Amino acid sequence: MTVSIRNIIPIIKAQFNGANDIAIIDTISIDSRSLQNSDSTLFFAIVGPNHDGHHYINSLIEKGVFNFVVNHIPENLEGKANFLIVENTVEALQTFAASYRSNFDFPIIGITGSNGKTIIKEWLNFLLSPDYNIIRSPKSYNSQVGVPLSVLGINEKHNLGIFEAGISTVNEMENLQKIIQPTIGILSNIGSAHDEGFHDAGEKIKEKLKLFSSVEVLIMNKNRTIEAFLNTKINTFTWSSDDGKANVFIIAKESSDHTELKITYDKLCFKIGIPFQDQASIENAIHCLMVMLYLGYEQNTIQDRMALLYPVEMRLKVKNGINNTTLIDDSYSSDFQSLKIALDFLESQKQYKKKTLVLSDIFQSGLITEELYSKVSQLIISNKINRVIAIGETISSFKNKFPNCLAFPSTEKFVSEIDSIPFENETILVKGARHFHFEEIVSLLEEKTHETVLEINLNAISHNLNYYKSRVKPATKMMVMVKAFGYGNGGYEIAKLLSHHKVDYLGVAFADEGISLKNAGIELPIMVLNPESTSFSAIIQYHLEPEIYSIKGLTAFLKLAEQKKLKSFPIHIKLDTGMHRLGFEEKDLPELISKLKDNKTVQVKSILSHLAASDDMKHIDFTLSQIKLYDKLSSQLMSELNIKPIRHILNSSGISNFPQAQYDMVRLGIGLYGVANDEDEQKYLENVGTLKSIISQVRTIQEGESVGYNRRFMATKTTKIATIPIGYADGISRHLGNGVGYVTIKNKKAPIVGSVCMDMIMVDVTDIDCKEGNEVIIFGKDPSVQFIAKQLGTIPYEIMTSISQRVKRIFYRE
């Protein structure tokens, strides 16, 4: 895309304020954090419920970005850049994308439905790419801003587009239809996702069908309910397994390792095999088959290509690597659009300054080879990649375009020489097309640990953070607690994500936690909640900010501050308003004020207190009395010391239950990790951590035989037992044994039997068709940490923070 500001202005009906309306634009951005922003970027300042892009324009100007679409010019920035002023920046982005789409006249496949959109899109790309130059939505870019960004990636070399459209409420799909303008439609299915955004199922169906208002054909599973809402002018191409009136009749027959589809279409009758057995994959594959039939593919081609379908990896995973490295696994795709996303993710998660990219040949971008790799080179350089390992004959021929590049013709050649290539103290992004089998590289570079893992969903953390942001006023600051190794989920990785989201403060319990984060490159201010006087020197050295809660502690810190000749070092004053754990009481205030008054070595950055029962509305009167006392004591301190510090008293439950006490900042804790203290609020949060293992062994025991230490489980009938490699050394309570707890295998409950051992548990799988190597869910959505805590008579905090460090954490983004 190459277009001038002058040409964009009338399209989005903007008022121009600037000096250079002939500036050339080749990139559209909505993310101020992307290293791909440049002087040829047009930045749309999107305003959402939790973020406002206008806040980051000044920093973008400092980085060399000079073209902005805004709804107002931020203060003191007029004359410093080109501003295109519109009423609504999201609508302007959509309008521009719709106009840009109109410049191209080739088939566009538009996909919507409750599930399967991304998989169908990726499979169609695989099936059709030998015959077309395809532009498709990167990853799951199907939202009100994701769709226009996807469509703006079209260029004149493309001759087929595949875009997915997702909606969460009414009046959204019409916008996406104008942008995508599909000629071929696919309706995957209608499920329960986003039900809360619609009055009923009929309203949801009508809204989704708006995507297909102008298609040549709509491909769908024949369904009378859906057809009742269809415009009769829309031509459908339907399939069914039980309705003979469908255009294509399909019978699915499962085999040991695949599914055979018998297809009857027109005068054709033939069979194909697909390497899946689950119903969702079968339906997704059939939708792809229908597209190939509609496009006129021959039977043999359909059979050959569909047999090669593969599981679509929906995640970017962050893993610990060898020699103190961090590994980002994106080893199943390689195209220009997804490379841009992966590089942005690398920047948001990098732990080390040194960045290495392992990259295969790139496919299906619609660009000629020379032009493609020139663009890839520019992208890599703008993201400040220190080293490129190029794998593939094509990319190797362009190795001179990349910084510090090692080139190998194949994965096999690289693997044979990997021992001679140093990897240490760096972040490594591994990104390759599926047939390069980069999973072999990931396996070699990954730190070896046992097969139990705690998967952390970074999308869920972002969602939960945004949920709580929506509950506070725009001006209210946000401190997020990452103490206790991020409540067991991983301290640094979560802190890095929170930095990316620009929260205001991080909170840790002890100085060593804060020091680890600072050493890892975290630049956000970090408050230490329970500092010991012996750690004060380290706190000062690493620019941490201590909570001061006693006269003794204050005296010791002031003495040290004076010795080090500090000036205005930030401290936080803790008041005890009823928790009776730590903090200054009302009687301590005169002495506290006396010591702080006219003291230049420290600055009271904030005044805080802690609510004892904000999650229990039975104690509402007590909580309100705490808030009242806090207001009184903090106001006294502010008045007598003549200061205006940040004030904060609310924790996660307090944010929801006592919004009137937000003051200047709130402290988000366990709510970030997907645990609410209220059932109504829980439905708005997403599960963050899933503890997984595998089945090590399956055996059958007879009546009267026992399992485990002390024979605590005695079989009363023939029983099938599975052993799982996780035990109390990993954080599994021994009290969960003998039927108190359960795990989930193949979506079925398997009770824990016998005693929980140090490294193993045994479960009853008599009624589950499972085998060695099958996945086991220890906790996640089912069972949840709340359920386990209830069974044990404890709280979710204890369950989460008990998972030991020998359990590998894997961080991923959908």
For 32-90, give the DSSP string: TT-TT--TTEEEE--B-SS-BGGGGHHHHHHTT--EEEESSPPTT-TTSSEEEE-S-HH
For 51, residues 6+ apart whose C-beta sits below 8 A from its C-beta are none
Burial class (CB in 10 A: 0-12, 13-18, 19+), 706: middle
Q: How far apart (Å, rounded) are the C-alpha atoms in residues 124 and 118?
A: 10
CB count in 10 Å sphere of residue 711:
11
Q: How many alpha carbons lie under 13 Å from residue 101 in its C-beta half-sphere? A: 26
Verify whether residue 709 is a known catalytic residue: yes
The amino acid occupying position 552 is K
User: What one-character DSSP code corresponds to residue 724?
Assistant: E
Structure tokens at 93: 């982005």
Q: How far apart (Å, rounded) are the C-alpha atoms in residues 727 and 618?
A: 37
Contact, 73 vs 58, CB < 8 A? no
CA-based nearest residue to 182, from 232, 142, 221, 223: 142
Q: How far apart (Å, rounded) are the C-alpha atoms in residues 326 and 351?
A: 7
Q: What are phi and psi of 637, to 5 degrees?
A: -60, -45
Choosing from 139, 483, 496, 605, the catalytic residue is: 483
The residues facing 809 across adjacent strands are 454
Instruction: Give, in order, the Cα–Cα distances in Å from 350 to each of 56, 219, 346, 632.
Output: 21, 43, 6, 44
For 706, residues 6+ apart whose C-beta sits below 8 A from its C-beta are 712, 713, 714, 715, 754
The amino acid occupying position 209 is L
SS3 of the chain: helix, strand, coil, percent, to 5? 35, 25, 40
CB count in 10 Å sphere of residue 389:
24
Q: How far apart (Å, rounded) are the C-alpha atoms in residues 101 and 97?
A: 6
Contact, 284 vs 773, CB < 8 A? no
The amino acid occupying position 567 is K
State the first-to-last Cα distance of the chain, in angstroms, to the nearest integer.
27
For 502, residues 6+ apart whose C-beta sits below 8 A from its C-beta are none
Verify whether residue 483 is a known catalytic residue: yes
Choosing from 709, 746, 748, 781, the catalytic residue is: 709
For 517-543, give one letter per residue: b (16+ CB within 10 A) or e.
Answer: bbeeebebbbbbbbbeeebbeebbebe
**Run of H or E including 269:** strand 268-274
Active site residues: 483, 709
